[in-house]
Structure 1
Amino acid sequence: MEATIVKTPFGKLEDGQTADLYTLTNSNGMTVKITNYGGIITHLTAPDREDNYEDVVLGFDSLADYLKGHPFFGALVGRYGNRIGQARFTLDGKSYSLAANNGPNSLHGGKKGFDKALWNAEEIRADTTVGLRLTHVSPDMDEGFPGTLNVEVVYTLQNDNSLRIDYKATTDKPTIVNLTNHSYFNLTGLKRDILAHELMLQADSIVPVNTRLIPTGKLMAVEGTPFDFTKPTPIGQRIDQTDHEQIKNGGGYDHCWAINRADQALLRFATVREPQSGRIMEVYTSEPGVQFYTGNFLDGSLSGKGATYSKRFGFCLETQHYPDSPNQRQFPSVVLRPDETYTSSTMFKFSAK
């Protein structure tokens, strides 16, 4: 079977522009559907131990459902993934105010982030892979961020059942950048919640947060806490230990883990296994951190693809720099200058056992 990519219309935006849906299929029959509206991964199929491919991401079948509003299902997030405290930061002595769209904080790029942009799309066909190149120009002071930012994101579906995401960005003024993808996974094939999934994270510490989910500025060791996933552990085993301040603050898991790494090479930092189907997802990244989120705010008011998206029906592994880094000098820098190129890579690889 040959790898293919097929483009179909996905619907109209309120301004009359048309969004498209691209269906990427590899030689095994794994499919990934991506729309150029928000760069959203709408569908992604993965095999179980009987080699049955089922959809394992939360989302919708129609553009109209995405336009009604959703918690970033499958979307590309920018300019800044995660929270910036008090929706402001200082760069080179100058203060910048951002849209406050999460209480007093700025979240995931503001009120109209990259998740709501219509990206330019270009199909990529190679010998053994198919891909989609998405590009977007974010103008100077877009949502309060300085500098005209040229962004390129390439999704590549490979024949080893992996989906790779490569990010690149350049700017004409000093700015801050932290891009990620916000897919919610459920390896049951959208049949049950995610609490029985077994997770292993190569991370010895988390970035603890206050009640507003803004980092305190220090790291916290995971050993002896509900945050220790250094050995495979069911996600639900300690998720409700609200006697732990961080579980209480996050309403479960909604924290950035600091990945154990020696350099910026692509590193496998996470393995997730769903016991009943046998599905396994391995995640690789070049980033220093990952926001592990367990769908604590899903409340059953949204449904799609025959499933009701109730609390903890999906989990996210958003590879990124730490939250609030622009205001925390001790964190890895998110500053991008005109003579630099921002690059980041993440890969999700699927198998079964």
Structure 2
Amino acid sequence: MKRSLTPILAAALLLSISACNDTSKSSVDMAQTDSTSTGLQLDSTKFQKEIDGKKTNLYILKNKNNMQAAFTNYGGRLVSLLVPDSTGKLVDVVPGFGSVDGFVQSTEPYFGATIGRYGNRIAKGKFTLDGKEYTLATNNGQNTLHGGKKGYQYVVWDAKQPNGHTLELSYLSKDMEEGFPGNLNVKVIYSLTDDNELKMDYEATTDKKTVVNLTNHAYFNLNGEGSGSILNHVLQIYADQYTPVDTTLIPLGKNVPVASTPFDFINPTTIGKRIDAVNEQLTAGKGYDHNFVLNGTKGLGMIHAATLKGDKSGIVMDVYTEEPGLQFYSGNFMQSKNKFKGGATDDFRTALALETQHFPDSPNQPNFPSTVLNPGKVYKTSTVYKFSK
């Protein structure tokens, strides 16, 4: 972005802590970091609203290292994430809005949201199970994106907070919602560990054969919300292959090597180094908006998907998952139309997403890992974003 941090961003952080186990009340208890911290005020009352007959609220998770994560149950969203930088100063690395209304009115609906029933795209809004074709709501040209016109980012989740570092969200996605078969009971547990890990545990069951692909669409700027472009962030993705797409960003059905292409992040590389290269895949995505096929490199007992480092803050984020793919999106459709909680706008490529998930359009791609969930089975997967300096 072409602006410096506002005075609000230079002030101490005040975060309202929501009451545990009750979406209708919020504690007046306030937590303040030391005066050297970079932060902003989150007013819990601005997250208390009624949408579709259900109440929304703000929830705060903390660990012993002063890390803090703020969520709202509207869309199951990560609102803010305060992480210590190389000097110990807290930096809000997740762009978001300071109220529920900000998320409701945003021209970009996915900031920080829990995504479902199917993250990423399904071609032409159709897929077939056991010989029966299902027609979905289309919301991305001719395709279905992130669950359709009213994906999980637009619903109010049931929330309970059993302790100061855990938030449990649940939602019943009814049979044929947005065209998907089966009553799907979904639960997501977000937890903040004392090892500076933001953990996401997903679980779902169905009463009818269906497809499921859950993820979180947090945007990150490790230099801080409002700090400018992410093009000088250094990224390493532990993937030898990626999934090429057509002009509507639907996979062509094959995975190809990243070697000798702008998609080679096997070694740490600045994001902007090749983003403007003459390449039909970069043209299709207006930058990076592609699935990377993870190698299976292990860490924390999971697959080590990626490592990202902020060039100004020195903050390092390692991504671990049980999913086979990682969607890297370089903020190509950010258009300066929305004002974040600190006053900055969502300028072009000032945040990025690293979404752990199954591959796009898997229900129509027999060569891709299956996303089918049968009755009596449990969909279960975990992702961890671990921070260090």
Q: TM-score range by the shorter chain?
A: over 0.9
1:88-237 to 2 correspondences below 5 Å: 88-125=126-163, 130-190=165-225, 191-237=227-273
Pick from 117, 121, 143: which aligns with 1:83? Answer: 121
- Cα deviation code 1:47-88 (max 9, x no counterpart): 111000111111100111111132400000000000000000
- Cα deviation code 1:197-231 (max 9, x no counterpart): 00001000111100010000000110000000000
Partner Cα separation in structure 2 for residue 86 and residue 263 of structure 1: 35
Q: Would you say how many aligned residue pairs link Structure 1 and Structure 2?
A: 345
Residue 63 (structure 1) aligns with: 100
Residue 297 (structure 1) aligned with residue 333 (structure 2): yes
Residue 251 (structure 1) aligns with: 286
**Corresponding residue SS for 2:103:** helix
Amino acid at match of 1:237: K
Q: Are the aligned partners of 1:5 and 1:130 in contact in 2 as well (CA < 8 Å)?
A: no
Q: Please report how far the alpha carbon of residue 14 of structure 1 lies from its aligned counterpart in structure 2 after TM superposition.
A: 4.5
Pick from 251, 275, 288: which aligns with 1:239? Answer: 275
**Corresponding residue SS for 2:253:** coil
Amino acid at match of 2:292: W
Gaps of 5+ in 1: none
Q: Please report how far the alpha carbon of residue 16 of structure 1 lies from its aligned counterpart in structure 2 after TM superposition.
A: 4.9
- Cα deviation code 1:236-265 (max 9, x no counterpart): 110111x21111111000000000017995
**Corresponding residue SS for 2:57:** strand
Q: Please report how far the alpha carbon of residue 143 of structure 1 lies from its aligned counterpart in structure 2 after TM superposition.
A: 0.5
Residue 33 (structure 2) aligns with: none
Partner Cα separation in structure 1 for residue 104 and residue 50 of structure 2: 8
Partner Cα separation in structure 1 for residue 240 and residue 344 of structure 2: 35
Q: Please report how far the alpha carbon of residue 5 of structure 1 lies from its aligned counterpart in structure 2 after TM superposition.
A: 6.1
Partner Cα separation in structure 2 for residue 71 and residue 294 of structure 1: 16
**Corresponding residue SS for 2:284:** helix
Partner Cα separation in structure 2 for residue 44 and residue 213 of structure 1: 30
Q: Please report how far the alpha carbon of residue 15 of structure 1 lies from its aligned counterpart in structure 2 after TM superposition.
A: 3.6
Amino acid at match of 1:184: Y
1:35-54 to 2 correspondences below 5 Å: 35-54=72-91
- 1:276 and 1:263, CA in 2 relative to 1: closer, same or farther beyond 3 A? closer
Q: Please report how far the alpha carbon of residue 169 of structure 1 lies from its aligned counterpart in structure 2 after TM superposition.
A: 0.3
Partner Cα separation in structure 1 for residue 199 and residue 61 of structure 2: 12
CA-based RMSD: 1.5
Percent identical pairs in the alignment equals 51
Amino acid at match of 1:171: T
Q: Are the aligned partners of 2:238 and 2:297 in contact in 1 as well (CA < 8 Å)?
A: no
Partner Cα separation in structure 1 for residue 259 and residue 162 of structure 2: 44
Residue 11 (structure 1) aligns with: 48
* TM-score relative to the length of structure 2: 0.86
Partner Cα separation in structure 2 for residue 176 and residue 18 of structure 1: 29
Q: Are the aligned partners of 2:51 and 2:156 in contact in 1 as well (CA < 8 Å)?
A: no
Q: Please report how far the alpha carbon of residue 122 of structure 1 lies from its aligned counterpart in structure 2 after TM superposition.
A: 1.2
Q: Are the aligned partners of 2:298 and 2:304 in contact in 1 as well (CA < 8 Å)?
A: no
**Corresponding residue SS for 2:201:** strand
Pick from 359, 367, 382: which aligns with 1:330? Answer: 367
Residue 349 (structure 1) aligned with residue 377 (structure 2): no
Partner Cα separation in structure 2 for residue 124 and residue 257 of structure 1: 35
Residue 284 (structure 1) aligns with: 320
Residue 34 (structure 1) aligned with residue 71 (structure 2): yes
Q: Please report how far the alpha carbon of residue 13 of structure 1 lies from its aligned counterpart in structure 2 after TM superposition.
A: 3.6
- Cα deviation code 1:145-178 (max 9, x no counterpart): 0000000100010011110000000000000000
Q: Are the aligned partners of 1:5 and 1:123 in contact in 2 as well (CA < 8 Å)?
A: no
Q: Please report how far the alpha carbon of residue 25 of structure 1 lies from its aligned counterpart in structure 2 after TM superposition.
A: 1.3
